[in-house]
Structure 1
Amino acid sequence: MTTDQTTTPVTGYRLLLPDQWAQVPLRHGTEEAVHRILEDAYTRIPKNAPPDKVSPYKRELARRFRRAVTQAQQTKGLDLYLPVKPMGGSDLSFSLGASILVSESLLPRRSGAEGTGEPTDAAVQLLSRDGAEGADLSSGEIDGALAVRHEYVAAANPDRSTELASRRVEYIVSVPGDPDRWFVAAFSTIGGGDPRDELSEALVEWFDAVMANLRWRQG
């Protein structure tokens, strides 16, 4: 189907996320966003909390959050999304057991017999740096654009501060009007401590729904 997307330049994207998730831009305005999110988290500390407990709590919260942001910046991503507000109950800490990292890649698509790109081939090329062996690959369309879904379980890697295995789902979407440009949204969760547990399954389904509602900004 041909739409205005093929002629109007894409200038951005939109993801619909719950209020509990915050966006951290990784190229411009990072420190301002980090400061704002941390200050908001500090306001949820009970007024009657023991003073000798508050400062260590703030330091640990800031350390964990800044480490996640720094690791994302090292991947040269565009935006990092993290759940930074409690979903309910009294837990005040950030839930850093899940994240969405948005980035982009440039890679010419291979041409088929009719001059159209082969999405699976492009995905394998894009993912070759991590290895696609044993991965679950499928292709489709999101907001009129060619998309590839890549799912796998990443082993724990203490050397990179990942103490637990994690469930990973990546969507690689061809940017409309620019066939060499690919939008990448990478979701990661440790679930309840097992990347194949019920919580992981539910979060993967949720991320699939988020990506189904991805929309481009144009003009």
Structure 2
Amino acid sequence: MTEPTASFFMVVPPGWARLPADEAHREELGTIVRQVIANALPDDLPRDRAEPLRQEMRKRLTATVVEAGDNGATAVYLPVQPVDGFTPPVSVIETEVDDESDEAPEQVIAQILADALPDRRDQDDPGIREVDGGIAARTDTTIRRADPGNELPELGQDLPVVDDRQVVYTIPVPHRPGRWVVMSFSAISLPDADGQLTDALVSLFDAIMTTFRWTDVPGAEPTTLERRLAELGGAA
């Protein structure tokens, strides 16, 4: 489950962790990273093998989250424990941004969806979604992350070509005009891999987003579902 940031919460699957990425929460990040690594390493692993692994895992995980924070993210969600021996190659980046324009949320969303139209996977999906009773934009694209033959021909035989399936929810904060929350899902796969797994992971992310709830809407009493989700996932 996950502790929320700002004015919302959502529930994530067992084995996932929310890692705060902003500089103000570096100490909390360190604590969570230590817990994640402690849960990941077997108890019977000899100390002389465990310590180098622990240090390398801490270094890589912290660097990944800090880099996301340096790029504006407020948190990174990662599956940190395998399920049936499998840890999916996915992540969710949480970002909060301000829009200083005077455009209504509907206008901003229309522009986001128009910009994404050329690369949209499903041309029949308009991309408009409802998140906690409000309008949101959902875009779904695939980006070729590495094309060694074109980018680094001298290393082309050594670098894999990978596809990055990106699903992004852009959500206006209803009680804070100009404030937006962006939830960006990423799933890495080989181009010739079976797309059913990636589709299933995208469906999982869509299911996670159905639990997204605002927590500080003025004058609004929480519903029974929201109270239960707050018990499971925490509330700000």
Shorter-normalised TM range? 0.7 to 0.9
Cα deviation code 1:103-138 (max 9, x no counterpart)? 122223645xxxx7335434258xx6xx76312551
Q: Normalized per residue, which structure has more helix?
A: 2
| Residue pair 1:164, 1:193 contacting (<8 A) in 2 also | yes
How far, CA to CA, are the matches of 2:83 and 2:142 in structure 1? 25
Q: Is residue 104 of structure 2 the alignment partner of residue 104 of structure 1? A: no
Cα distance in 2, alignment partners of residues 86 and 194 from structure 1: 24
Of the candidates 182, 188, 197, which is equivalent to residue 199 of structure 1?
A: 197
Counterpart CA distance in 2 for 1:34 and 1:88 is 27
Q: Helix, strand or coil: the match of 2:53?
A: helix
Aligned to 1:212: 210
CA distance in 2, matches of 1:151, 1:213: 19
The equivalent position to 2:138 in structure 1, one of 149, 160, 171, is 149
Q: What TM-score, normalized by structure 2, do the two folds share? A: 0.69
Runs of 5+ in structure 2 lacking a partner? 1-5, 152-159, 219-236
Q: From the superposition, tell whether residues 149 and 190 of structure 1 become closer, same or farther in structure 2 (CA, over 3 Å).
A: same
Q: Which range moves more in the overlay, 61-70 or 187-196?
A: 187-196
Give the superposed CA RMSD.
3.1
TM-score, length-scaled by structure 1: 0.74
Counterpart of 2:15 in structure 1 is: 20
| SS in structure 2 at match of 1:69 | helix
2: CA distance, partners of 1:102 / 1:165? 21
Q: In 2, Cα distance between the equivalents of 1:105 and 1:124?
A: 18
Question: C-alpha distance in 1, partners of 2:172/2:141?
Answer: 21
Moved over 4 A (4+): 191-196
Q: Provide the identity percentage.
A: 26
Deviation at 1:82, TM superposition (A): 1.0
- Give 1:166's aligned amino acid: D
Structure 1 residue aligned with 2:233: none
Q: Which amino acid aligns with 1:80?
A: V
Seen in structure 2, the aligned counterparts of structure 1 residues 84 and 193 have a Cα distance that, compared at 3 Å, is farther
Q: Distance in 1 between matches of 2:61 and 2:15?
A: 15
Partner in structure 1 of residue 181 of structure 2: 183
Q: Which residue does 2:37 correspond to in 1?
A: 41
Q: Specify every segment of 5 or more residues in structure 1 that has no aligned partner in the other structure, as ranges.
A: 1-10
Deviation at 1:191, TM superposition (A): 4.7
